[in-house]
Amino acid sequence: MVDHLVNTEINSQRIAAVESCFGASGQPLALPGRVLLGEGILTKECRKKPKPRIFFLFNDILVYGSIVINKRKYNSQHIIPLEDVTLETLPDTLQMKNRWMIKTSKKSFVVSAASLTERKEWISHLEECIRHLLTKTGRQPSTEHAAPWIPDKATDICMRCTQTKFSTLTRRHHCRKCGFVVCADCSRQRFLMPRLSPKPLRVCNLCYRQLLAEKKKEAEADLRQTEPICAAVQGYEPSSGDDSDKSDDDKADRWPADTEFYTSQVSWSSFHS
């Protein structure tokens, strides 16, 4: 299909129509060799509640956005490189059926289709595009993915301390590392995760300790690699860091407690320990 449509007028017109619907708020989508393969409306599981989103599948990217007027105006455009995407089929819940997860290094989220057939078609086309793209670029499938956020209504209590009850005054927060719904006391720490953001992000206390431990191990490993080099250089002394060189560049339906979310057949309540 890609070979048949590339460099054709109909493909250029379809891409131009998508760009027009997003308007000035969207990025240009027309590139040499890029083909629009399909589009459709999927339900995206957002933090507050599931919402319909328009999705466009190209041979190298997945584009989605909010629907203002269907087929006429969209906003909040998101562009996901397909070489960074991994898919995972999920079981149905009482609220959502025909679900699957789109996992990337920066953001992971759950979508659902109107029917089982539609889900199969989306997953089949996505996997085919990803496979061709990875073969073309020689890259390996991505293995590191951002954790999806557990929906707010999945729990009325903090998923870490299991003591704090959420209310109008006691708001919910999300750990950027594990995606759990947590209270303020259980998520006071911030940690820099360059893969997700250039700024330190909110993390729960458990993930903070784990991240600190990982950082310490990495620092110790780097030190072990540096020590033999230092010993081999006569008169070497570590820099104090004082010197500088200025020339350097410097309340709705509740979810049942045993609902399976995004992990292997384990209810979220089992994670408290």
User: In this predicted model, what pLDDT tens digit does every residue of 10-36 receive, in sequence order?
Assistant: 999 999 999 999 999 999 999 999 999
Same domain (yes/no): 52, 113: yes
CATH number assigned to the domain comprising residue 218: 3.30.40.10
State pLDDT tens for residues 40-66: 999 999 988 999 999 999 999 999 999
| Of the candidates 67, 33, 85, 272, the residue with the CA atom closest to the CA atom of residue 164 | 272
Q: Are 49 and 251 in contact (CB under 8 A)?
A: no
**Residue 18 included in any domain:** no
Does 155 lie in the same domain as 128? no
Question: Would 246 be classed as within a structural domain?
Answer: no
Quick check: is 20 in a domain?
Answer: no
pLDDT per residue rounded down to tens, the chain (273 residues): 777 888 899 999 999 999 999 999 999 999 999 999 999 999 999 988 999 999 999 999 999 999 999 989 999 999 999 999 999 999 998 888 999 999 999 899 999 999 999 999 999 999 999 999 999 888 888 888 899 999 998 899 999 999 999 998 999 999 999 999 999 999 999 999 988 888 999 999 999 999 999 999 988 888 887 766 555 555 444 443 444 444 444 444 555 555 555 554 444 444 443
**3-state SS class at 227:** helix
Whether residue 130 is found in the same domain as residue 154: no
Single residue among 206, 223, 240 that ends a domain in this structure: 223
Do 81 and 104 lie in a common domain?
yes
The rounded distance, in Å, linking the Cα atoms of 224 and 2 is 50
Domain count, the chain: 2
Domain ends where: 223, 243, 266? Answer: 223
In a domain, 27, yes or no: no
- Nearest alpha carbon to residue 148 among 125, 124, 181, 185: 181
- The domain of 95 spans 39-137
Model pTM?
0.75
Contact 99, 109 (CB under 8 A): no
CA-to-CA dists, residue 28 to 16, 25, 53, 64, 236, angstroms: 9, 10, 19, 14, 53
Is 34 inside any structural domain? no
**Domain CATH code at residue 119:** 2.30.29.30
Surface-to-core class of residue 187, CB atoms within 10 Å of its CB (0-12 exposed, 13-18 middle, 19+ buried): buried
Domain assignment present for 47 = yes
